[in-house]
Amino acid sequence: MRKATWIKEIFEGNVALGDIFLRGWVRSVRKKKAFSFMVINDGSSQQNLQIVLDADIENYEALSSCHTGACVAIRGKLVESQGKNQSYEVVAVGGSVLGSSQQDYPLQKKATSLEFLRENAHLRARTNLFGAVFRIRNNLAFATHRFFQEKGFYYINTPIITGIDAEGAGEMFNVSTLSPDKVKKTDDGSFDYKNDYFGKSTSLTVSGQLEAETFAMGMGKVYTFGPTFRSENSNTARHLAEFWMIEPEVAFADLDDVADLGADYIKYLIQSALEGCRDELDFLQKRPEVDDDLVERLMSVSNSEFTKITYTAAVDILIDCGKKFEFPVEWGKELQTEHERYLSEEKFNGPVIVTDYPKDCKAFYMKQNDDGKTVRAMDILLPGVGEIIGGSQREENLDKLKQRMNDMGMDQDSLWWYLDLRKHGTAPHAGFGLGFERAIMYITGMKNIRDVIAFPRTPKSADF
Ligand code: 4AD
Ligand code: MG
């Protein structure tokens, strides 16, 4: 078989005119008497390619009667196109149908609501829309490694199965080989995991942070990039039960250092998509699902300073703005999505870094401020997405950390190793977690997180 060409190579200008061999999936066929036009896409780029099929070529009947969704191989000549919509086309001399498609192929031009596509997620990769989203996702994953590697971070992998609840929120999926009806109860009525695979209760991880800290306290600058699981029952457009998180952890850093790192990272991702996926972004912003100022917005954010305010200042702004919120604003309470949206969308119209939250809103490991009320935490908020990053400086003082765990009624035995870090060679350090799908939402302009991960896991839904 002669060497096959990918459509992307053609539009990059790397393919000589003349003989060519291609494969792809049929997007449409317009059948005329003496010839037909077929449009194919092979997934390599946003570009489709038009094939001219003359009625006298071999296999004409089979090729020209293909339904949308069929897979074909085409031999022909690459020529510069006469048509105004494309720069190249292929005049076929022959070809074959690798896989035919049926009349009931689900992805017909009209029936393609996002909801419908989610139900047919096995075919989403064949649409222009999901091709664009997932090529951008790929770009951002690679950019993530580039960003941290260029800054001298080491990539580490933390466990997926864990015995600890790093965030202390209790939103974990259990991992067990025991069938629920065979688990014995202990005298106090709780489950006895002694006979379970690990001899104790284990779950899927909600964060690799605590393990990443052990590596930062030896290798300096590290980051994780892995799957993360939360059983919170949040059936929203921004929550998944299984998502991907990037968690850098930096020795000798304080909160301001990692706030800057987070802002730089977000800008780097945006720039990477603008440079590497411009066709995809241009395509997306023309779609009805996406705001038509996507590219302009990304360009402006990639060059702008992120606003930084304290939680206390944010609460003052929210109280003084006179807007009626569903959840009342009060110092000491969590900021709700509507509050975060007001700050990033209305008040500052751009990314906002909120710092120094009340300690009771945040996890046990955050560094306590001298005021006794707040911790050195930060959330980075983006318009349209809300919280994209959560992070903090870590409490490196052993006594203060133990005290806080005590106050929160936490078991210290299982975290003996985490406390040990503070006992031997403790150092200031800080880090954050960025929700990868939330970053993809922001950069693609897609409004539902289910449409930026291949096979979403959400409450009552784990198909495919
Ligand atoms: O704010 P979170 O809970 O922070 C942590 O887990 C820290 N241990 C991170 C660290 O300091 N190393 O989660 C971090 C980010 C959130 O800002 C959000 O973008 C994303 O993870 N996230 C989710 N994304 C999708 N679905 C969910 N259910 C998410 N929960 C958190
Ligand atoms: Mg958070």
- DSSP line for 405-446: HHHTT---GGGHHHHHHHHSS---EEEEEEEHHHHHHHHH--
CATH architecture of 126-171+206-451: 2-Layer Sandwich (3.30)
Closest ligand relative to 228 C-alpha: 1
Phi, psi for residue 339 in degrees, rounded to 5: -70, -45
Query: Which residues lie closer than 8 Å to 197 by C-beta, 6 or more apart?
Result: 175, 176, 177, 178
In DSSP terms, 309 is beta-bridged to 354
Q: Give pLDDT, residue 181.
A: 78
Q: Which amino acid is at 121?
A: A
Phi, psi for residue 323 in degrees, rounded to 5: -80, 145
Q: How far is CA 194 from CA 163, 166, 190, 201, 416, in A?
A: 13, 22, 12, 8, 20
Q: Is the CB of 433 under 6 A from ligand 1?
A: yes
Protein residue whose Cα sits closest to atom 30 of ligand 1: 239
- For residue 214, the CA-to-ligand 1 centroid distance in Å is 19
Closest ligand relative to 245 C-alpha: 1
Protein residue whose Cα sits closest to atom 7 of ligand 1: 433
Protein residue whose Cα sits closest to atom 17 of ligand 1: 389
Query: Which residues lie closer than 8 Å to 210 by C-beta, 6 or more apart?
Result: 164, 166, 365, 415, 418
CA quadruple 198, 202, 208, 212: dihedral, nearest 10? -40
194-220 in b/e burial notation, b at 16+ Cβ within 10 A? eebeeeebbbbbbbbbbbbbbbbbeeb
Among residues 43, 117, 108, 46, the alpha carbon closest in space to that of 450 is found at 117
Phi, psi for residue 307 in degrees, rounded to 5: -65, 135
Residues by chain with Cβ below 5 Å of ion ligand 2: 390
Q: Give pLDDT, residue 1.
A: 46
CA distance 241 to 229: 5
Whether 7-99 and 126-171+206-451 share one fold: the answer is no
CA distance 127 to 405: 50
Q: Give pLDDT, residue 111.
A: 60
Q: Is the CB of 437 under 6 A from ligand 1?
A: yes
| pTM greater than the 0.85 cutoff | yes
Provide the token pair at 240: 């998944």
Protein residue whose Cα sits closest to atom 1 of ligand 1: 390
Protein residue whose Cα sits closest to atom 3 of ligand 1: 390
CA distance 458 to 462: 7
First to last CA, the chain: 34
For residue 339, with 0-12 CB atoms within 10 Å meaning exposed, 13-18 middle and 19 or more buried, which class applies? buried
Query: Which residues lie closer than 8 Å to 194 by C-beta, 6 or more apart?
Result: 200
Q: Where are the domains of the chain?
A: 7-99, 126-171+206-451
**pLDDT tens, position by position, 301-331:** 999 899 999 999 999 999 999 999 999 999 9
In the CATH scheme, what is the homologous superfamily, with its name and number, of domain 7-99?
Answer: Nucleic acid-binding proteins (2.40.50.140)
- Per the rule left: phi > 0, alpha: psi between -120 and 50, beta: everything else, 401 is alpha
- For residue 359, the CA-to-ligand 2 centroid distance in Å is 13
Q: Which atom of ligand 1 is nearest to the CA of 239?
A: 26
Q: Is the CB of 452 under 6 A from ligand 1?
A: no
Mutate to test the pocket of ligand 1, among 366, 418, 438 (most ligand atoms within 8 A of CB): 438
The pairing of strands 49-54 and 35-41 is antiparallel
The pairing of strands 202-204 and 174-175 is antiparallel
Q: Which atom of ligand 1 is nearest to the CA of 389?
A: 17
Low-confidence residues of the chain: pLDDT under 50: 1
**pLDDT tens, position by position, 406-427:** 999 999 999 999 999 999 999 9
Q: Which amino acid is at 312?
A: T
In DSSP terms, 430 is beta-bridged to 250, 393
Q: Give pLDDT, residue 461.
A: 94
- For residue 392, the CA-to-ligand 1 centroid distance in Å is 12
Q: Is the CB of 230 under 6 A from ligand 1?
A: yes
- For residue 389, the CA-to-ligand 2 centroid distance in Å is 7
Q: Which amino acid is at 352?
A: V
Q: Give pLDDT, residue 170.
A: 84
Q: Give pLDDT, residue 107.
A: 87
Among residues 24, 15, 52, the alpha carbon closest in space to that of 36 is found at 52
